[in-house]
Structure 1
């Protein structure tokens, strides 16, 4: 981390900072929330979904997570909110999580045996790849998460132009580029438990992503838990969100 600026009036029992750090030599930005007290505290890295201004980090979620006593880091990914570079949907921008984990794990306030990753939507790509690279990660939560980018291309006609531009072309033309961005093909490298949370009627990231990921985890002898919410889509009602978050943190504490 090379710079931090406190953002006032965020939470009565936590501090929030806008931080700048280096990822592959690029200045990248994100939020760092730290609970009041001496710590050390568990760490939750919140990998947002979407791309650029679509799906940007939700401060309400950062606040909810820090209220559980976690230090929360939420990278914006490169090219966003004044950061350098250009986001590329789980390509080189995965280093925005990898490089952050290198300095986050050295913070004195962080309990190094309690580092968890949370990936929402396409943020699941970032979280899963980071868990593969860092064996000290204790668990990873995949929430409405993308596991196979070629499947996203099939499902989301509205995203095909963006995917062709960012990835290089269609999965038929550059299958290796889509596979490289698809953590489902590398689940054998995971060493931590995985929690899969998904709405069964999700039309933005179909539940097939979680079903295929669960099958791959099972085939590779990995530990995983599924929380599937019948009838819900990519976003839940406030009451269902709260219930799901509570179950998620209960699961984290049990790992």
Structure 2
């Protein structure tokens, strides 16, 4: 029996180490990207796996060198899976200080009004295992808002359970401008609706069949549709925020920084690209997505071939004007959109006199929030809630 448990422990230790090593290892190829993205976000499960392997081996130790190797492997796995945990307190403290510094006294007053917020803590281990409670909502899917070139574009609406008029969040999905859907990251949309927002999750036409600015035109079409149907869908058009992820973050910033059918009170970009020409010339290393090919498909060529396209599609080129407050959330280990780019955008926004915040998550990769209850998204959600409450809900705005 001990021999069987020993074999099990060795097997578990090997699996645990293989999975845990992606907490610190970037993906060299696209098919490995889910491991690099997901490992830090399931570190609590990896810690449990590695600890289980260690305990199984320890209690069935018979002096075999293979067992000692397994114990050593388990220890390494435990250390790797602990890395995100040990960084959470410092990361949260830095995020909180950044929010208070950039948004000032009005934000500090708002965060004391806890009725605006669903979560009173930035990270909860029980939620990491059990999942974040979402709550009851009303859901209206699959509404066509436009059909350019015969392409049916649809949106999903998430509303609080009670009829009323609510501040609105327009959510724009990622996918390299080539994929994704209005159903992406649905847990976030449901969560925010349960906490007093009307959320519109929209989609757009995809590259390479449709080049920029088709995608931005589609976002504006959605905003026009929402404006026309504001009363029907219970949205206060004077309290609107745009939120996008990755490619959707780029579109959210472009729409928020230019004239559009609705007044935008806040812009939130999760790991969105902001300087596309520079991103093309300085791709990440490693580059599992092949960033240059994605940009060429979206914009129709290289920066030398279509320089105007890259200029028009880069949010950093629109910062020298009064803009709504911007919240940027980015993983420091992002190997799709490098952390240097949101740092540059932050500096440009602030130099132009605009309110802007960059929250960095030290252990996180691109698309970290696809695991809704992971440590990265718990931190991001905590501060996103408060930023939205400050921008859209609090008295005096």
TM-score, length-scaled by structure 1: 0.84
Q: Does 1:171 align with 2:171?
A: no
Cα deviation, residue 23, structure 1: 5.7
Cα deviation, residue 43, structure 1: 0.7
Tell me the secondary structure at the aligned position of residue 73 of structure 1: strand
Tell me the secondary structure at the aligned position of residue 43 of structure 1: strand
Q: Which deviates the most, 23-32 or 134-143?
A: 23-32
Partner of 2:360: 228
Tell me the secondary structure at the aligned position of residue 133 of structure 1: coil
Tell me the secondary structure at the aligned position of residue 197 of structure 1: strand
Q: 1:246 aligns with which of 372, 376, 382?
A: 382
Cα deviation, residue 216, structure 1: 1.2
Contact 2:274 2:315 survives alignment (8 Å)? yes
Tell me the secondary structure at the aligned position of residue 119 of structure 1: strand
Partner of 1:110: 235
Tell me the secondary structure at the aligned position of residue 152 of structure 1: helix
Q: If each structure's strand is expressed as a fraction of its own residues, which one has the higher value?
A: 1
- Number of residues paired by the alignment? 241
CA distances 1:185-207 after superposition (whole Å, capped 9, x unpaired): 01124521111111111111111
Cα deviation, residue 159, structure 1: 3.1
Task: Find the aligned partners of 1:25 and 1:201 in 2 and give their Cα distance.
Answer: 39
Tell me the secondary structure at the aligned position of residue 115 of structure 1: strand
Q: Using a 3 Å threshold, how does the CA distance of structure 1 residues 16 and 190 change in structure 2: closer, same or farther?
A: farther
Q: How does 1:37-186 map to 2 (within 5 A)?
A: 37-50=162-175, 51-53=177-179, 57-78=184-205, 86-88=209-211, 90-106=212-228, 107-108=230-231, 109-131=234-256, 132-134=258-260, 136-154=263-281, 155=283, 158-186=290-318
Q: 1:16 aligns with which of 140, 143, 156?
A: 140
Please report the RMSD computed on the Cα atoms of aligned residues, expressed in angstroms.
2.5
Task: Work out which structure has the larger RCO, using CA pairs closer than 8 Å and 6 or more positions apart in sequence.
Answer: 2
Partner of 1:4: none
Cα deviation, residue 164, structure 1: 2.2
Partner of 2:159: 34
Q: Which deviates the most, 236-245 or 173-182?
A: 236-245
Contact 1:122 1:146 survives alignment (8 Å)? yes
- Whose Rg is larger? 2
**Unmatched tracts of structure 2, length 5 or more:** 1-133, 392-397
Task: Find the aligned partners of 1:165 and 1:116 in 2 and give their Cα distance.
Answer: 28
Q: Using a 3 Å threshold, how does the CA distance of structure 1 residues 30 and 52 change in structure 2: closer, same or farther?
A: farther
Partner of 2:15: none
